[in-house]
């Protein structure tokens, strides 16, 4: 009841800080998984360049698994917060239970892909036998033991929906620490563990994810007492599942489009393996920065959704205002770090032949962070106010409709030798600026039709 009162009565400015900081840390730590793997793999004694390229190629599928888990969690988060705001405990229990049922289905799909689809996927992006072998080994392990990341994503959102974001952060920290400790032990072969190379990086990652999921399961069962628990609530309910995905499907598509974008960019850059690897490394740094915006978005969504369930016009307006202000501040910090220290990141990854491409990408693409962060905040606001379609349109513009044709066209000039690879990187700032303008138009429309009409 205290958590519910906090969502109802605490000033929005203070509530967003209190909920946002743990969520931001949680998302930042989630990005650490891939950064840590790449840093340790890049310093392997043998085959480090091939290993970095392999991790670049597997990254879109890892993102896709996270996309489906987090997207389902986002729908659960917003629907659960709104349902609790309406005081409907029975429906809240069904929302939570059905999200876990969906998690089982998602895991089965990932498992089947891990067994049957991994080799075909990796071979579509490279003809290098060493890269292919490393990529298949790493990705198969991540898919077969993907239940950790899937259920962590769901339990994280269930805790965030009730205002307990601190506990989701604790779970994330535990998983990240486990991953960081196990990475050098399993990759390099320290102590009783034999040297496993890229396979060791994969095992360290999934073990950390499973540790996080188990801990958050315990927190969920012990702390989320606003609604009931048990297998009976996991019985599929078509109405509840439809409501979850009415909100969550745009988030899934948004995250999935990121996977598609990275995959297609890998194909566009296939003519230059060093540029391809550089893009993969930069994307992990970019995700670290943008995950700060995603973390704040995960505070924006339940706060505004709860206020929308209460029909509190002022709290909705405050949620929009402070959400955008804090997002802009975070993105300015991210731009400063990436523009000032690109060499330090290149050294962290031991980028080798990809170093100059990596630094160039960082200096150009980081300009887009401000507009990208605002777009992420817009999408969190849309999702809280039943604006799933608007959220989907922004995602399509950012990660498919504008970015890929632009990058493809720019790559033609590169191949003709008329301009450098850096021309491709400029497709990112151009895309985010156009999408941000469209997002502002959508926000004005949603405020007029769904917020201003409230008493």
Residue-wise pLDDT tens digits, 77-130: 888 888 887 888 889 999 999 999 999 999 999 999 999 999 999 998 888 899
CA distance 362 to 27: 21
Choice among 85-99, 272-286, 373-387, 416-430 with the minimum mean pLDDT: 416-430
- Look at residue 405 in the predicted model and tell me its pLDDT: 95
pLDDT of 34 higher than 70: no
Output the CA torsion sign for 368, 374, 378, 380: positive
pLDDT of 407 higher than 90: yes
Q: Are 322 and 387 in contact (CB under 8 A)?
A: no
Q: Mean pLDDT over residues 252-267, rounded?
A: 85
The vertex-78 CA angle with 332 and 310, nearest 5°, equals 105
Give the helix/strand (H/E) hosting 392. helix 388-396
CA distance 101 to 113: 19
- Look at residue 288 in the predicted model and tell me its pLDDT: 84
CA distance 193 to 34: 22
To the nearest 10°, report the CA torsion of 362, 363, 368, 370.
Answer: 100
Q: Are 107 and 188 in contact (CB under 8 A)?
A: no
Q: Mean pLDDT over residues 164-170, rounded?
A: 83
pLDDT of 417 higher than 50: no
Q: Are 196 and 132 in contact (CB under 8 A)?
A: no
pTM: 0.76
Q: Are 221 and 363 in contact (CB under 8 A)?
A: no
- Look at residue 4 in the predicted model and tell me its pLDDT: 53
DSSP 316-352: HHHHHHHHHHHHHHHHHHHHHHHHH-HHHHHHHHT-G
- Look at residue 419 in the predicted model and tell me its pLDDT: 56
User: 49 phi and psi, to 5 degrees?
Assistant: -65, -45
Place of tokens 């608007």: 390
- Look at residue 89 in the predicted model and tell me its pLDDT: 87
Q: Are 359 and 347 in contact (CB under 8 A)?
A: no
Residue-wise pLDDT tens digits, 333-379: 999 999 999 888 888 888 777 888 999 999 999 999 999 999 999 99
Choice among 111-125, 150-164, 404-418 with the minimum mean pLDDT: 404-418
In Å, what is the CA distance from 356 to each residue of 57, 137, 179, 353? 20, 29, 29, 7
Tell me the pLDDT of the chain averaged across its residues.
Answer: 88
Output the CA torsion sign for 118, 181, 280, 276: negative
Q: Mean pLDDT over residues 409-434, rounded?
A: 83
CA distance 92 to 79: 8
- Look at residue 418 in the predicted model and tell me its pLDDT: 43
Tokens of 133: 């072998």
Within 13 Å of residue 434, how many CA atoms lie on the same side as its CB? Answer: 17
Query: For 42-192, where are the alpha helices, taking DSSP H only?
Result: 48-85, 89-116, 118-123, 129-144, 147-161, 165-184
Q: Are 332 and 370 in contact (CB under 8 A)?
A: yes
CA distance 203 to 214: 17
CA distance 172 to 29: 6
Tokens of 191: 């102590």
Q: Which residues are within 8 A (CB) of 356 and not within 5 positions of it... i.e. 6 or more apart? A: none
DSSP 27-73: HHHHHHHHHHHHHHHTT-SSSHHHHHHHHHHHHHHHHHHHHHHHHHH
């Amino acid at each position: 009841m205290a958590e519910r009162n906090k969502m109802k009565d605490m000033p929005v400015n203070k509530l967003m800080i209190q909920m946002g900081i743990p969520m931001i840390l949680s998302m930042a730590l989630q990005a650490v998984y891939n950064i840590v793997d790449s840093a340790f793999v890049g310093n392997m004694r043998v085959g480090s360049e091939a290993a970095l390229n392999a991790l670049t190629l597997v990254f879109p599928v890892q993102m896709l698994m996270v996309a489906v888990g987090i997207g389902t969690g986002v729908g659960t988060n917003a629907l659960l917060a709104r349902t609790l705001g309406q005081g409907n405990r029975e429906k809240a229990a069904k929302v939570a239970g059905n999200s876990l049922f969906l998690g089982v289905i998602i895991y089965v799909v990932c498992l089947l892909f891990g067994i049957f689809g991994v080799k075909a996927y990796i071979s579509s992006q490279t003809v290098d036998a060493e890269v292919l072998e490393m990529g298949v080994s790493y990705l198969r392990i991540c898919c077969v033991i993907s239940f950790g990341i899937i259920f962590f994503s769901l339990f994280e959102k269930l805790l965030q929906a009730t205002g307990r974001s601190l506990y989701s952060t604790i779970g994330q920290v535990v998983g990240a620490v486990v991953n960081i400790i196990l990475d050098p032990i399993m990759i390099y072969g320290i102590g009783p563990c034999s040297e496993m190379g890229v396979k060791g990086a994969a095992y360290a990652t999934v073990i950390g994810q499973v540790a996080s999921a188990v801990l958050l399961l315990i927190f969920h069962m012990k702390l989320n007492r606003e609604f009931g628990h048990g297998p009976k609530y996991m019985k599929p309910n078509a109405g509840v599942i439809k409501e979850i995905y009415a909100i969550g499907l745009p988030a899934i598509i948004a995250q999935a489009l990121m996977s598609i974008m990275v995959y297609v960019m890998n194909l566009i850059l296939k003519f230059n393996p060093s540029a391809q690897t550089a893009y993969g490394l930069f994307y992990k740094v970019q995700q670290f920065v943008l995950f700060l915006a995603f973390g704040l978005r995960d505070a924006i969504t339940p706060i505004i959704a709860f206020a929308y369930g209460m029909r509190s016009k002022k709290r909705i307006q405050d949620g929009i205002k402070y959400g955008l202000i804090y997002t802009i501040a975070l993105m300015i910090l991210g731009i400063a770090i990436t523009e000032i220290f690109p060499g330090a990141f290149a050294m962290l990854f031991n980028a080798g032949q990809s170093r100059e491409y990596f630094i160039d990408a960082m200096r150009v693409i980081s300009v887009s962070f401000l507009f990208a962060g605002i777009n992420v905040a817009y999408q969190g606001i849309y999702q809280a106010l039943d604006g799933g379609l608007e959220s989907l349109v922004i995602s399509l513009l950012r990660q498919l409709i504008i970015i890929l044709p632009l990058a493809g066209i720019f790559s033609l000039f590169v191949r003709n030798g008329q301009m450098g690879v850096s021309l491709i990187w400029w497709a990112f700032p151009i895309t985010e600026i156009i999408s941000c303008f469209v997002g502002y138009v959508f926000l004005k429309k949603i405020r007029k039709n769904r917020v201003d009409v409230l008493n």
